[in-house]
Chain A
Amino acid sequence: MSAVSVNDVSVAFGSLKVFDGISLDIEEGEFVVLLGPSGCGKSTLLNAVAGLIEVEEGQIWIGGNNVTWEEPKDRGIAMVFQSYALYPRMSVRENMSFGLRMAKTPKAEIARRVERAAELLQIAHLLDRRPDQLSGGQRQRVAIGRALVRDAAVFLFDEPLSNLDAQLRNELRVEIKRLHQQMNGTTMIYVTHDQIEAMTLADRIAVMKDRRIQQLGTPHEIYHRPANLFVAGFVGSPRMNFIEGRIDQGGEGPIFRSGALALPLAAEHAPRALETGRLVTLGIRPEHLALDPAGPWDGFQAELLETHGADNLVWCGNGQVSLQLRLPGDVSLKRGEMLTLAPDPARVSLFDSESGERL
């Protein structure tokens, strides 16, 4: 039984359909991240799960119950928002206990839960302050605390770290991950446009674009076996290199060819649909291109060098194709230097140029 399941759900704003039959099943205790550019519908999907947006068609199940028509408070969920959404003019303690007080929870029980959440999030010393006396990071901790006291089985996060600066974001990201590990069996759904958050937090990522789930998979799958050109280009920084070309027939099987560049394709790509002459796009990540004087791709000139410390990025081109490569930090190059590259044929991705789908 899934902890959360979205069955064929459609959402409409007026006459404008936002989703048309979207489905998603999430296991108990799983951490699922909805990742995508703004406007892709990830927040709308989360709001539909929360019951903050009414669905037009389909069903939403949480914890084995059909909650499609339930009020948000009755769905057994808790939610954390980008703007923190703390109740102003209420102390941290009141913020965390307001919902429980409304639900007529016994006082002792409220105190116990607030205590526990505050301890878990290290905000016990802030309990009597008011939101406007807190920093951004502290506010978001309180907002998470307010969600914690609800003792919900499912946690929903709507871009919770987007309003924070980079360092706090990293800190709180780790905190959320730790929280998930400590709370055994708690399911979390997390919306973000930040791929690092998605990669680091998720058990599974649902990459979304144009109100569709483009790919649902583990971070490893998403990164190494992107389902289409969009996923391949969206996840990974620096971006995956794309080379337009066609399939050719070589001595030992199909070859990818683009101008002067050729690459024998690994066995795993063959023999599916690799008929000769088919237009394809080859995708290769910058770290899967090595410098090798014996490599097959020569004639590349280093155009731009970027030092990142742990590694270096190199922009290079051969007049037709521009490629980025990621080299270890101790390799030093000069601008204008001629390079010979060796792609790792086992780690390239092939996409149909027309449909953009993975082959």
Chain B
Amino acid sequence: MASVSMAAEAAVPRTRRRWNAAASLALLPAAVIVLVVYLGCMVWTVRLSFSSSKLLPVLDWVGVRQYSRLFANERFLISVENIVLFGVLFIAGCLVLGFLLAVFIDQKVRSEAAFRTIFLYPYAMSFVVTGLAWQWFLNPTLGLQKIVRDLGFESFTFDWLVNQDMVVYTLVIAGVWHGSGLVMCILLAGLRGVDEDLWKAARIDGIPTWRVYLSIVLPLLGPMIVTAVVLLATSVVKLYDLVVAMTHGGPGIASEVPAKFVMDHFFERNNIGLATAAATMMLISVAAVLAPWVYARYIRPQGRRA
């Protein structure tokens, strides 16, 4: 992105800016959306988190009372714990599996296109469909457990879906199934972009293939891995549909996540204050992740050039 925008700016000579009515008019809808929704609604939400709003929004000021309530709320704490666990495992899982898939597909295999299609198709489906499919596949009585038992392993148990301690891992499995094709796709494009001479040089130096991938190719894929992590991370923060469809936060509240916490408190539990406080916490955590990245990518390079 950065390079693209720079190229565009370099290409447009710094002529005197002429005010163009039509161009300004064309940007008006986007400007309204940015001002009203992306800025206005955000500020509004943050403001409400400092109020005592329940069913209806009120604009009083209760300081950080909602936040102290939030951090005393077991449901929220479990949500946070779950999203961290899910996030780490989901991103790591997608990266590792996606990288392996990309590398193995890159070995000049037959029917490469078929494999690529198979590995990516889950990404085309919604999280609701993904959640329901895995809910059925991992069904503790009729699903995977029964398949393995039918094979003769009578005592095999796989009840993660209804096990409070394990249910998050079922979300991770479904998530990795859904998302690793994306990583494969991004990394495969990166692998195909590696200078062919580099491979030749490594063959002449007698470097084993796995070592080339690890020591030479992987560092080259850095920017693509960052891209993949950013994309995966945004879907972690937005994680909602998958949970609703697959576990509905259960058993009990064992698989609650922040997005669902916010939604439930907005629309079912009618606790606007608490919901906006949780939403603001989500905003802060995203900003905390985003800030260093924006800094590294857009602000620091410009400083260096100056």
Contact = CB atoms under 8 A, between A and B. Distances in A.
Given a CB threshold of 8 Å, the question of whether A touches B is answered with: yes
B215 interface: yes
A72 B203 contact: yes
Interface stretch (B34-42, B97-105, B122-130, B204-212): B204-212
Contact of B204 (A77, A83, A86, A90): A77
Contacts of A82: 197
B289 to A, nearest CB: 25
Interface of B is mostly: helix
B220 interface: yes
B195 interface: yes
Nearest to A99: B205
Interface in A62-85: 71-74, 77-79, 81-85
B284 to A, nearest CB: 34
B215 A87 contact: yes
A262 B206 CA distance: 62
A89 B217 CA distance: 10
Interface residues of B, number: 17
A220 B207 CA distance: 41
A325 to B, nearest CB: 42
B215 A85 contact: no
A78 B95 CA distance: 36
Contact of A78 (B204, B208, B216): B204
A32 interface: no
Contact of A52 (B200, B211, B216, B219): B200
Contacts of B201: 79, 81, 85-87, 143, 146
A87 B206 contact: no
Nearest to A149: B205
Contacts of A52: 200, 203-204
A50 B207 CA distance: 15
Interface in B180-215: 195, 197-198, 200-208, 211, 215
B197 A73 contact: no
B173 to A, nearest CB: 34
A146 B204 CA distance: 11
A273 interface: no
A79 B207 contact: no
A99 B200 contact: no
Nearest to B218: A89
B203 A88 contact: no
A88 B223 CA distance: 14
A103 B202 CA distance: 12
Given A47-B200, A83-B197, A85-B195, A99 B220 contact: no
Interface of B: 195, 197-198, 200-208, 211, 215-216, 219-220
Closest 9 CB pairs of A and B: A99-B205, A73-B206, A85-B197, A81-B197, A85-B201, A89-B219, A72-B204, A83-B197, A85-B198
5 contacts: A52-B200, A78-B204, A85-B200, A99-B204, A102-B208
